[in-house]
Amino acid sequence: MDLPHLYRQMLRARAYELAVEDLWNHGFISGEMHLGTGEEAVAAGVVTQLGDGDGLALTHRCSPALVVRGVPLAPMLRELLGAEDGLCGGRGGHMHLFSKEHLAATSGIVGASLPTAAGFALANSRLRPGAIAVAFTGAGAMNQGMALETLNLAVAWRLPLVIICIDNGWAITTTSDSVTGGSLVERAQGFGMRAETVNGRDVRAVYKAAAKQIERARCGKGPSFLLATCPRLDGHFLGDPLIRMANKPIAEGKKVFGSVLSSVVSRGGGGLADRAGGVTQMMSVMAKARRSGTRERRGDPILAVYKTMNKHEAERDRIDAEVAAEIEAAVAEALADVGEGSDG
Amino acid sequence: MSASGAEGQALHAVPEVATEKQTIAQAVRDAMLEEMERDERVIVLGEDVGVDGGVFRATDGLIERFGAERVIDTPLAESAIIGMSVGLAATGFRPIAEIQFMGFVYPAINQLFAHAARMRNRTRGTLSCPMVVRMPYGGGIHPPEHHSESYEALFLNTPGFKVVVPSNPYDAKGLLISAIRDDDPVLFMEPKRVYRAFREAVPAEAYTVPLGRAAVAREGTDVTLIAWGAMVRVCLDASEVLAREDINAEVVDLRTLNPLDRETIISSVVKTGRAVVVHEAPRTGGFGAEISAQIHEHAMLQLEAPVQRVAGFDVVFPLAHNEKLYLPSRDRIVKAVEKVLAF
Ligand SMILES: Cc1ncc(C[n+]2csc(CCOP(=O)(O)OP(=O)(O)O)c2C)c(N)n1
């Protein structure tokens, strides 16, 4: 396990989301923008172990895994802007990012990542023995019929599939506990699948747990299920006032909640060129993580991994600076033609 | 169980009873609240509808009033939400299921098509399916694909449903109350684009607007614009522009797509001789095609020009910056009207 490498990937994932947040705040991206902040340790711990031919099916919080997978950043950002030269030609948007090269697919339909990944896995078992597929899913999604159907057939056909279930405790405003029967790990075991829980804030623990499951899948020993507990640092989507009540009684949250979607999904604003000038420069990711005004800091995996890098202090700061520069360049590239006649 | 309240008020008629200025979202909520007060068989279920009060606030306060037994936060499982509603409805309850966005109904299509819609026919009426499925639909608020779609045509090509689409707060409340009291499955599509766009006087008490009856939202003589939901206001806007050119458009707000009020459509077209149908859904196979066909079948000889359709395009609902191009606009409607007038 290469800790500095994992650290770098986590920072890249976070820095990317911070850039998206800036773009959203400046009105370049509209609609519900779900960030994967808080899930970086899982993305890094799992996706750094994937290689050529491995499939990846993702959810509405897809960015961290795609960033770690090495999908080019500027086209991803351009896709969020709806540009013709975006990753999907401006047709997918943030909930539907695809990369043929990386066999990566995303769906805004909750639960859909599981059957898609099972298809990738079945194809791989025929076409590229040794290659596997990974499904990321939220815990809420595990109650969808299509998710349960997939658990069954993955076991029945011993598919080379690893299901990474991120449990952040919530599905929008409903606590997952209140609508989920039994434990998800036992549920997967009930289907005959290897399953365990891991602390999703601890990149080393995630890496180790995923390594075992990925190895099993690669050598034909069948599917497994990893439940990773993560914080939901930015609420369900950007601008979600619920973030302030994540750990507070619902009654208090309701006051600030208001008409969420109507306020969040529709944003106007001045000309694109004006707004482009306002997108902040990417400073140290770590400094930003510490400083966040609205983001929950409790349990932030980025702050945790920083400490584990104490022994590599100089490298730590260098990586931070390199990541900031990389993201800044990607944002600059993504916004390069802004103001040249496009009206957004 | 006697239904209180005024019967079948016409569109926008200012009622004599106490009123409150409300948005569509509030009117929808009050319709449920009043029916739940009146009839304890009425229950609400769906994702985030309870403790939270719904992502669009349409169920705000219901759980406080009626408790978690009647306002049920479900798992993220549309198929089960609708499948359970079928079972509940057949057992004497009157479930109102919320599908968070119409684009998320697909996992539940099997339950809707194969079960809800067929219960009455299969049992020769021994069992019916008195349930309402509320679905915010349509574009205009910028999120991608599933969050902006308008696929009413799927349900109109499936016998067994009633399909209702209010365009204003008064109708929203009256139609929803009718839908809840109806003995068949009613798909109630809520135009989220105008959920809070404007307020109107809505009676504080319960009243019904009958299903299956269209309303003439604006009287005119030169051309009939036929629309539903959020598109009604766009048509009214277009009518104002046309009025400045001395073109007097009549706007028919269908309100219920099934059963369709053909009489109102045909009598309007017979009067004006020209018709333009406007909808957000893709053009091909959209409900505009059916309406156009019916006009040709029933008023062919009174038509001065072929019926035109102003619709979404045959593509997946586009990302935000192209939304304006996709959705029927005032200008596109005006152009279509000019075309039927010039024919
Ligand atoms: C089929 C479907 N139903 C509802 C939604 C609306 N929705 C988007 S995200 C979400 C919650 C998902 O919860 P979970 O799977 O736990 O993932 P999390 O958002 O917590 O990461 C819901 C209900 C959807 N996108 N798709």
From CA A210, how far away is CA A208, in angstroms rounded?
5
Q: What pLDDT is stored for residue A272 in this prediction?
A: 52
Q: Would you please indicate which residues of B are annotated as catalytic (active-site) residues?
A: 147
What's the CATH number where B192 sits? 3.40.50.970
Among candidate residues B179, B203, B227, the one where a domain is terminated = B203
Claim to verify: residue B199 and residue B219 sit in the same structural domain: no
* Predicted local confidence at residue A10, as pLDDT: 98
B25 touches chain A (CB under 8 A): yes
- Residue A299 within any structural domain of the chain: yes
Q: Say if residue B241's pLDDT is above 70.
A: yes
pLDDT average, residue stretch A14-36? 91
B104 ligand 1 Cβ < 6 A: yes
What is the A110 CA–ligand 1 centroid distance (Å)?
A: 5
How many CB atoms within 10 Å of residue A148? Answer: 15
Report, as an integer, the average pLDDT of A280-285.
66
Confidence (pLDDT) at A27 = 87
B97 and B42 assigned to the same domain: yes
pLDDT for res B217? 98
In a domain, A193, yes or no: yes
Angle, nearest 10°, between helix axes A40-47 and A301-308? 60
**What is residue A246's predicted lDDT score, i.e. its pLDDT?**
40
Domain that holds residue A243: 1-336
| CA-CA-CA-CA dihedral for B155, B160, B164, B165, to nearest 10 | 0
Q: Across residues A96-103, what is the average pLDDT?
A: 96
pLDDT band at A290 (very low <50, low <70, confident <90, very high): confident
Do the Cβ atoms of B51 and A260 come within 8 Å? Answer: no
Give the residue, A41 or A248, on which the prediction is more confident. Answer: A41
> B252: domain range?
215-342
Query: Is residue A43 predicted with pLDDT exceeding 90?
Result: yes
How many Å apart are CA A308 and CA B110, to the nearest integer? Answer: 50
Q: ipTM higher than 0.95? A: no
Same domain for B219 and B107, yes or no, is: no
Domain match, B137 and B46 both: yes
Q: How far apart are CA A204 and CA A183, in angstroms?
A: 24
Give the pLDDT band of residue A32 (cuts 50, 70, 90). Answer: confident
Does the pLDDT at position A141 exceed 80?
yes
- How far apart are the CA of A259 and the nearest CA of chain B, in angstroms? 6
Question: Among B203, B238, B268, where does a domain finish?
Answer: B203
| CA–CA dist B327, B317 (Å, integer) | 9
* Cα radius of gyration (chain A): 19
Tell me, yes or no, whether B246 and B190 share the same domain.
no
What is residue A2's three-state secondary structure? coil
Opening angle at CA B195, ends B148 and B211, nearest 5: 95
- Tell me the per-residue pLDDT of B178-213, one tens digit each, with 9 for 90 and over: 999 999 999 999 999 999 999 999 999 999 999 999
Mean pLDDT of A236-255: 51
Which of A10-14, A66-70, A248-252, B319-323 has the weakest average pLDDT? Answer: A248-252
Closest residue in B to A146 (Cα–Cα): B107
Tell whether B52 and B183 lie within a shared domain.
yes
| B187, B67: one domain | yes
Contacts of A222 (CB under 8 A, 6+ apart): A154, A155, A158, A159, A160, A193, A194, A216
Residue of A nearest to B101 (CA): A109
How high is the pLDDT of residue A297? 77
In the predicted model, what is the mean pLDDT of chain A? 87
Instruction: Show contacts of B58-62: CB within 8 Å, 24+ apart.
Output: B58/B25, B58/B28, B58/B29, B58/B32, B58/B98, B58/B134, B58/B136, B58/B190, B59/B29, B59/B32, B59/B98, B60/B29, B61/B29, B61/B33, B62/B29, B62/B32, B62/B33, B62/B36
* pLDDT exceeds 60 at position A248: no
Structurally, chain A folds into a number of domains equal to 1
Kindly report, residue by residue over A192-217, the tens digit of the pLDDT: 999 999 999 999 999 999 999 999 99
Ligand 1 proximity of A194 Cβ (cutoff 6 Å)? no
**Does residue B287 form part of some domain?**
yes
A302 in any annotated domain: yes
Instruction: State percent of chain B over pLDDT 70.
Output: 95
Task: Tell me the CA–centroid distance for residue A147 and ligand 1, in Å.
Answer: 13
Confidence of residue B13 (pLDDT cuts 50, 70, 90): low
Partners of residue A3 on adjacent β-strands: none
How many independent structural domains does chain B possess? 2
8 A C-beta contact, residue A164 and residue A226: yes
Is A342 contained in some domain?
no
Annotate chain B with three-state secondary structure.
Answer: CCCCCCCCCCCCCCCCCCEEEECHHHHHHHHHHHHHHHCCCEEEEECCCCCCCCCCCCCCCHHHHHCCCCEEECCCCHHHHHHHHHHHHHCCCEEEEECCCHHHCHHHHHHHHHCHHHHHHHCCCCCCCCCEEEEEECCCCCCCHHHCCCCHHHHHCCCCCEEECCCCHHHHHHHHHHHHHCCCCEEEEEEHHHCCCCCEEEECCCCCCCCCCCEEEECCCCEEEEECCCHHHHHHHHHHHHHHCCCCEEEEECCEEECCCHHHHHHHHHHHCCEEEEEEEECCCCHHHHHHHHHHHHHHHHCCCCCEEEEECCCCCCCHHHHHHHCCCHHHHHHHHHHHHHC
Q: Are residues B68 and B182 in the same domain?
A: yes
Q: In this model, does residue A263 exceed pLDDT 70? A: no
The verdict on B330 and B270 lying in the same domain is yes
Q: Is residue A298 in a domain?
A: yes
**pLDDT(A268) > 50:** no
Contact check, Cβ <8 Å, B55/A90: no
* Single pTM value for the model: 0.91
Shortest Cα distance from B189 to chain A (angstroms)? Answer: 17
Dihedral sign of CA atoms A108, A113, A114, A119 in order:
positive
DSSP A298: T
For residue A250, the chain B residues in CB contact (below 8 A) are 51-52
- Residues B49 and B193 reside in one and the same domain: yes
Q: Residue A245: its pLDDT value, please? A: 42
pLDDT at position B3 is 38
Res A285 pLDDT > 90: no
B95-141: pLDDT as tens digits: 999 999 999 999 999 999 999 999 999 999 999 999 999 999 999 98
Q: Which of A96, A110, A265 to mutate to test the pocket of ligand 1 (most atoms within 8 A of CB)?
A: A110
DSSP class per residue in A242-295 = GGGGTTS-HHHHHHHHSSHHHHHS----S-HHHHHHHSPP---HHHHHHH-SSS
d(CA B54, CA A116) in angstroms, rounded, equals 29
**Ligand 1 proximity of A170 Cβ (cutoff 6 Å):** yes
* Residue A129: CATH number of its domain: 3.40.50.970
B303-323 pLDDT, tens digit per residue, is 999 999 999 999 999 998 899
pLDDT at A153 over 50: yes
Q: How far is the CA of A139 from the centre of ligand 1 (A)?
A: 9
B109 touches chain A (CB under 8 A): no
Q: Has residue B2 got a pLDDT over 50?
A: no
Summarize pLDDT for B164-185 with one digit per residue, the tens: 999 999 999 999 999 999 999 9
pLDDT for B226: 99
Residue A305 lies in a domain: yes
Please indicate, yes or no, if residue A341 is contained in any of the structural domains: no
Tens of pLDDT, residues B261-312: 999 999 999 999 999 999 999 999 999 999 999 999 999 999 999 999 999 9
Per-residue confidence (pLDDT) for residue A256, from 0 to 100: 35
- Is B78 close to ligand 1, i.e. is its CB under 6 Å away? yes
pLDDT digits (tens, 9 = 90+) for A159-181: 999 999 999 999 998 999 999 99
Q: Which of A91, A179, A265 lies at the smallest CB-CB distance from B75?
A: A179
The answer on B185 and B149 residing in a single domain is: yes
pLDDT beyond 60 at A252: no
CATH number of the domain that residue B316 is part of: 3.40.50.920
**Residue owning the nearest CA to atom 13 of ligand 1:** A171
Q: Is the CB of A64 under 6 A from ligand 1?
A: no
pLDDT at A255: 38
Mean pLDDT, residues A93-104 taken together: 95
Q: What is the pLDDT of residues B136-162, one digit of tens each?
A: 999 998 888 899 999 999 999 999 999
Specify the pLDDT at position B220.
Answer: 98
pLDDT band at A337 (very low <50, low <70, confident <90, very high): confident
CA distance B140 to chain A (A): 8
pLDDT of residue B331: 98
Assess B14–A contact: CB distance below 8 Å, yes or no.
Answer: no
Q: How far is residue A228's CA from residue A210's CA, in Å, rounded to a whole number?
A: 10
Which of B203, B227, B249 lies at the terminal end of a domain, its last residue?
Answer: B203
- A264 pLDDT higher than 70: no
In a domain, B2, yes or no: no
Say yes or no: B118 and B166 in one domain.
yes
The answer to whether B280 and B327 have CB atoms below 8 angstroms apart is yes
